[in-house]
A and B are shown apart, each in its own frame.
Chain A
Amino acid sequence: MLIYPLTDDQKLLLDLIKQIGEEYIKPYALEWDEKEIYDEKPIKALAHADLFGIIIPEEYGGLGWGSFEMCLAVEYLSYYCAGVSTTYAASFLGCYPILLFGNKEQKAKYLPFIATGKKLCAFALTEPQAGSDAFAIKTTAKKEGDYYILNGMKQWITNGGIADIYIVIAMTDPAKGARGASAFIVEKDDPGFSIGKKEKKLGLRASVTTELFFNDCKIPRDRLLAREGMGFIVALKTLDYARCGAGAQALGIAQAAMEVALKHATSRVQFGQPIYNFQAVSHTFAEMAMKIEAARALVYNVAKYIDSGAKDFSGASSMAKCLATDTAMWVTERAIQMMGGYGYMRDYPVQKYFRDAKCLQIYEGTNEIQKNVIARELLKYYK
């Protein structure tokens, strides 16, 4: 309902996303979900449209934009399919470590391929015993001459198998605990690196999630990002940036769910009139609209806060992620309820939105972890 002032170029971005959504996603989204298949066509289209280069500086072939434009792109893409937008957004998650911590050679080697979408990225932190407790990772990287040898496994990695570039967090000095982790760039053809099983998911089924295995995986020394011991700093800073994107995904899903349900409620006749005429229904939509606009205002503001050059925005980006994804969960659940039996049927998309939204409360840091971050930052702020 609120119309945000956008520049001409930002409007071009949205028009382009809508064009891609209508042509390459909308006709197929329910089928991809039903059959749990990854289709590379929308990703190819996003690449041809230059949209993988949004946050990459122009000198490396990108558009040189910021978090706000990334959020716009992710939000509008998620309106069409959150599975596709997960593949897209996860590539940013894998790109941020190189962008933020890569040296000149690493940036020059990888960023142009990422910007043009010729190479997809993935970010690999989670392990079976290390989810919210990320510091419990067991994958190791041992330095041997000019190489590092990686051993271990990663779990639930978005874009596993379809990505070319993997950012892997591994322990270089387990004795030092959290300060003993380092971040590495692993390429898909590196010896000793392999892809495990493809997971079966509740939602985001058009995206690919797999295990990664490192079995004496040998990579050159220059694949180390930043310095040894900085692995978790790389990971946490990356997540600070990317969380806003998860919030933006939530906005797109919630918006789509509200629109589909609204169309139903204004045309579905019961007791001789459209059900929207009943206050229980119309007030639910009023609440959906308020919550979505509030979440959008927060996500956009946090994105602009990051773009303004803010140094410390962990708390802010956690708020954006947590509020927006909780909103999407609530809105999609209510959208099903407003459509009754139609909402529950897999011929209609709201049940997909509902399943997709659920993952957003879990990945990129569960919403419980987001509250830990916010609570911690709150004490820093009011010390």
Chain B
Amino acid sequence: MEKIIVCIKGVPKPGTVKVDPETHTLKRESMELILNPNDRPALEMAIRLKEKYGAEITVISMGPSNIIPLLKQAYALGIDQMILLSDRAFAGADTLATSYVLARAIEKLSPFSIVLMGLKSIDGETAQVPSETAGLLGLPSLINIKELKKEDDKWIAIRENEYGEEEIEVESSLLASVSPQAFDYLRPPSLKRLIEVKEKEPLIWTASDIQAEPEKLGLKGSPTQVVDVFEKKLEMKGTILEGEPQELVEKFIEVLKEKEIIKI
């Protein structure tokens, strides 16, 4: 049976976020957590693969215990096993330190066939974790796919780019991030599973469970330093040239020359 791993993330519910003016980090206590909306297509793809080929799906997420309800939401959609990666040492992780923890956990779950993630989180929006995790695991990294199917022993992934569609063939295990537009229908949770999951708890893995090297974890393992958080304001200055057409063209050419856009 195929084994599929889906990584999900808890993100602040839009509208509940406040930034600490001193540290420039998110005030996590005041915000409400929701499942990253971009992770739902990844969960949907995993469940459709399970329906088509038969598979066991494990969902993993890194964070404190307030992530548990989100793992349970994933369970109610049709996932089989929940794992929470939780350790004080993981706190303050940037995308690299996060990818390191995910990669260690995924390795512990091997053998597996597919790792799926959302394209990007709606808070960080870096879209770096899928590629970094794939890099750390030495897996083919397929970004922004909309379809995944099996042909003989190969996986065929389809993704859209600006020129059309490309088809990618992979013979080994792979890691893919799923396009937010992959499906026009995402299933809701099942009531039976919602009732069932009330009695279930996720497995909790700490740094030692995944044999992580301490210096690669959390703040220590994060090369990214947040210096400031601010809203970027774009100001566009317009100039209106006036005069007769002939005159205008000459003036305009002068402007282009000044700005070194053209050289005559």
Is B194 among interface residues, defined by CB-CB distance under 8 A?
A: yes
Is B16 among interface residues, defined by CB-CB distance under 8 A?
A: no
The 8 Å CB contact of A41, one of B185, B190, B194, B198, is B185
The 8 Å CB contact of A63, one of B185, B187, B192, is B192
A129 → chain B closest CB, angstroms: 42
B188 touches A23 (CB 8 A): yes
Place the interface of chain A in its size category: 10 to 19
A50 touches B198 (CB 8 A): no
Is B236 among interface residues, defined by CB-CB distance under 8 A?
A: no
Is A8 among interface residues, defined by CB-CB distance under 8 A?
A: yes
Is B1 among interface residues, defined by CB-CB distance under 8 A?
A: no
Give how many B residues have a beta carbon under 8 Å from the other chain's beta carbons. Answer: 10
A88 → chain B closest CB, angstroms: 14
Q: What residues on B are CB-neighbors of A24 within 8 Å?
A: 188
B216 → chain A closest CB, angstroms: 39
Is A233 among interface residues, defined by CB-CB distance under 8 A?
A: no
Q: What residues on A are CB-neighbors of B185 within 8 Å?
A: 41, 44-45
- Tell me the nearest residue of chain A to B78, going by C-beta: A48
Q: What residues on B are CB-neighbors of A63 within 8 Å?
A: 191-192
A289 → chain B closest CB, angstroms: 30
Is A12 among interface residues, defined by CB-CB distance under 8 A?
A: yes
Q: What is the predominant secondary structure among interface residues of chain B facing chain A?
A: loop
Is A144 among interface residues, defined by CB-CB distance under 8 A?
A: no
The 8 Å CB contact of B191, one of A8, A23, A41, A51, is A51
List B78-118 residues whose CB lies under 8 Å from chain A: none
Is A134 among interface residues, defined by CB-CB distance under 8 A?
A: no
**Which segment, of A13-21, A28-36, A218-226, faces chain B?**
A13-21
Assembly CA distance A8 to B195 (angstroms) = 9
Assembly CA distance A12 to B194 (angstroms) = 7
B188 touches A49 (CB 8 A): yes
5 pairs of A and B residues whose beta carbons are closest in the complex? A48-B187, A50-B191, A49-B188, A50-B192, A50-B190
* 28 pairs from A and B in contact (CB 8 Å cutoff): A8-B198, A12-B191, A12-B194, A12-B195, A13-B191, A16-B188, A16-B189, A16-B191, A19-B189, A20-B188, A23-B188, A24-B188, A41-B185, A44-B185, A44-B187, A45-B187, A45-B188, A48-B187, A48-B188, A48-B190, A49-B189, A49-B190, A49-B191, A50-B190, A50-B191, A51-B191, A63-B191, A63-B192
